[in-house]
Amino acid sequence: MRAPKRDLARVVGEIGGAQAQLMSAAELQVAVRVQCTVSDVRKALWTDRTLVKTWLMRGTLHLARAKDLPTYTAAMSRRWIRPNNAWLKFFNVTEQELWKLTEDIGAALDGQPLTREELIAAVGEGKSPRLHEALRSGWGGMLKPSARNGRLCFGPNRGQSVTFVSPQSWLKVWKAVDPETAIVEAARRYLRVFGPATKTDFARWWGAWPGVANAAWAGLAGELVQVSVEAQHLDALEVDVAAMRGASFDERVQLLPLFDPYLLGHATRDHLFDRVHAPKVSRTAGWISAVVLVGGSVAGTWTHTLAGKRLHIAVTPFQPLPARVKSAIRLRAGELAEALDASSAEVTVA
């Protein structure tokens, strides 16, 4: 059952954020869990500011609940994530220069959205051509460290141009969090969403920066218990074990969009589908397919096209689907059509 629209930000917080490398996929990740449209997600981002878009886990773009951002950025700050020599060499900067650029970016964004070119012009004034080149680097370059340290997030587009803002000015509330506390809280929230899991699973989800997972697990030591799941020894929060044991599972059917967080929480996905199907889900260049979920397991993949007001969903199952599952897929397709402001939905099953 999807949550009511008023809980949109809460749900994004409870799933640990929505991966937003592809913005349309992030919007659908929210819409399959909340009774909302993609327009509601955009409103939460750019008008209500209860969501925020920035680089977070694994160095990838995410939508996060705005009030969670101070915790995430404290847990990803320079206290925990320092650039290695190879990274510094690639961007041709020293560590001292990197942190100075990070501070300059935050200062330039204080109170006003800037396009990338405007930001480069403001920060690059008086700096060497070498540092100008570093600022212009692709894939987030100097912007990602600024985002991880709470100095930058995405602002509303200006025409076709992306803008950046200071989250401490843009968001309605900003409360600084101690980095030592934050990394433990990040791991605690991870286990609330994805546990039982291992420290390695957390590192894979968070980003395998040296020492971070060890520090997080050490801070949680008094809250963890070891549980056995299909002969695997995994960690869980002790306060969650009773609810896990009492949980019941049914054959609920879900259509999860591209890059859905349900598929990204563990180091492997062997618990979700047979390994023979892995190339269909985990595709080249880190692409994670949209999947059909039946009773918590992946039963196939799907794609969609939107022509005018008509949504078409094509399902490719891993094995023949019973009629009751096909019927449930059509219901989920109808919900997606509403989220995309389509008038109707058509489903074909290969």
Fold of the domain built from segment(s) 188-246: Arc Repressor Mutant, subunit A (1.10.10)
* Element of type H or E holding 131: helix 129-135
Q: Within its chain, how far is the Cα of 202 from the centroid?
A: 14
What pLDDT is attached to residue 247? 78
Tokens 């993949």 label which residue?
A: 301
Neighbours of 279 (CB within 10 A): 10
Does the pLDDT value for residue 231 go beyond 90? no
* 328-342 confidence digits (pLDDT tens): 999 999 999 999 999
* 112-151 confidence digits (pLDDT tens): 899 999 999 999 888 898 888 888 887 678 899 999 999 9
Q: What is the mean pLDDT of residues 155-182?
A: 94
Does the pLDDT value for residue 286 go beyond 90? no
Query: Helix or strand or coil: residue 60?
Result: coil
What pLDDT is attached to residue 111? 78
What would the two tokens of residue 297 be?
A: 């397991």
What would the two tokens of residue 169 be?
A: 């000015």
What pLDDT is attached to residue 140? 77
What pLDDT is attached to residue 284? 85
Does the pLDDT value for residue 251 go beyond 90? no
Q: Domain coordinates of the chain in residue numbers? A: 5-170, 188-246, 253-349
DSSP structure string for 256-322: E-TT-GGGSSSS--TTTS-GGGHHHHB-GGG-B--EEEETTEEEEEEEEEEETTEEEEEEEESSPPP
**pTM (global) more than 0.85:** yes
- Name the band, by pLDDT with cuts 50, 70 and 90, for residue 168: very high
What pLDDT is attached to residue 322? 95
DSSP structure string for 168-218: HHHSS------HHHHHHHHHHHHHHHH-SB-HHHHHHHH---TTHHHHHHH
